[in-house]
Amino acid sequence: MSALSSIAFVVNAQKSGAPELASELMELAKDHGASVKETHDFPVVADFLADCDACCVIGGDGTLLGVSKIAAEAGVPIIGVNRGSLGFLTTFTADEAKEYLPSLLRGEYTLDERVMLECTSGEDQSDLALNDVVIKDEHHSRLTRLKVQADGEFVTSYTCDGLILTSPTGSTAYNLSAGGPLIHPSAEVIALTPICPHTLSNRSIIFREDVDLLIAPEDPKSCVTIAVDGQRNLRTCEGGEIRIRTSPHRLKLIHRASFDHVGILRTKLKWTGGVTNGG
């Protein structure tokens, strides 16, 4: 892989130890000949990643989600360093970041490209999601009835608390909590998972990557809120449609050569099953 000579650091100063770790990593990067710049501001301004070879995000998965859109659009890969809790996306610990940063700068890493979802509302508002798009009634305590089409064909109408449209990356987030499937991040698909559906036979559906999904409230007077990665909200009213597709943009994540996604799942989800010999 290409060597990294210019690193942008995005630091969540609210996370314990994050500013101090950022200072250590920036000094380490400079000692190895890389130029650095840093921000603690959120949201990150769109041109902050200009002319950078990589972006080092220090915080939790939410911090990385907040940077994913501009990183994907700029084509800048992310090094995720975890100072939060789970760390499905920010996969480097503080100690690992300090240990591996010199080798990453030399180009000794793997690139993992992740599907992004493109969401367009009826008012021509558009956004990108790395994890998921969640559609609910604007009054979140109310049930909503949403009709779904895939490539122009009617799928069904859901009476539920909402719908989760998830990428493979987001399958470990809200989707998993709602009973949806785990999906390997290399699978280029979109999953639809209803939240507390009134019809018990309504379960998750996996659609191919190039599907064109159209979702709209059955009541033309109702309004829905569209949460993008749990951080940004769009809204549509009076029969407005929501279109979900995969984006041509991909988010690139930098991992050490020994990175093991299934190992991360075992650790973070506390799987306890072991390998047995014999039948």
CATH number, domain with residue 263 = 3.40.50.10330
Residue 150 half-sphere exposure toward CB, CA atoms < 13 A: 14
* Residue 183 covered by a domain: yes
Rounded to the nearest 10 degrees, the angle between the axes of helix 94-105 and helix 18-31 is 20
Instruction: Using a pLDDT cut of 70, give the percent of the chain over it.
Output: 97
The residues facing 207 across adjacent strands are 190
For the chain, the average pLDDT equals: 92
Burial 252-264 (b: 16+ CB within 10 A, else e): bbbbbeeeeeeeb
Catalytic sites, residue numbers: 61
Residues 87 and 44 in one domain: yes
Closest CA to 38 of 8, 15, 65: 8
Whether the upstream peptide bond of residue 43 has omega within 30° of 0, thus cis, is yes
Residues 82 and 98 in one domain: yes
Residue 175's pLDDT band (cuts 50, 70, 90): very high
Residues 27 and 62 in one domain: yes
* Residue 241 covered by a domain: yes
Residues 67 and 10 in one domain: yes
Residues 220 and 122 in one domain: yes
The residues facing 124 across adjacent strands are none
Extract the tokens encoding 100. 């591996």
pLDDT at 274: 63
pLDDT at 277 over 70: no
Give the pLDDT mean for 147-176. 96
**157 CB burial (10 A radius; 0-12, 13-18, 19+):** middle
pLDDT at 276: 57
Whether this model's pTM surpasses 0.85? yes
Residues 79 and 173 in one domain: no
Residues 122 and 244 in one domain: yes
pLDDT at 67: 97
SS3 246: strand
pLDDT at 278 over 70: no
Q: For the chain, what is the domain count?
A: 2
SS3 268: helix
Q: Which residues contact 257 (CB under 8 A, 6 or more apart)?
A: 108, 109, 110
pLDDT in tens, 48-94: 999 999 999 999 999 999 999 999 999 999 999 999 777 789 999 99
Residues 133 and 195 in one domain: yes
**What does the CA dihedral 190, 72, 76, 19 come to, rounded to 10 degrees?**
-90
pLDDT at 41 over 70: yes
* Residue 279 covered by a domain: no
In which domain, by residue range, is 101 found? 6-109+256-268
pLDDT at 269: 80
Give the pLDDT mean for 137-148. 88
Instruction: Considering only residues 111 and 124, tell me which one the structure prediction assigns the higher pLDDT.
Output: 111
Residues 167 and 205 in one domain: yes
* Residue 277 covered by a domain: no
Q: Which residues contact 201 (CB under 8 A, 6 or more apart)?
A: none
Residues 124 and 174 in one domain: yes
CATH code: domain of residue 223: 2.60.200.30
The pairs formed by 93-98 with CB atoms below 8 angstroms and a separation of 24 or more are: 94/17, 94/21, 96/256, 97/21, 97/25, 97/56, 98/24, 98/25, 98/28
Residues 78 and 126 in one domain: no
Are the C-beta atoms of residues 108 and 1 closer than 8 Å to each other? yes
pLDDT in tens, 231-262: 999 988 877 899 999 999 999 999 988 777 88
pLDDT at 106: 96
* Residue 276 covered by a domain: no
Give the pLDDT mean for 20-26. 97
Residues 13 and 47 in one domain: yes
* Residue 160 covered by a domain: yes
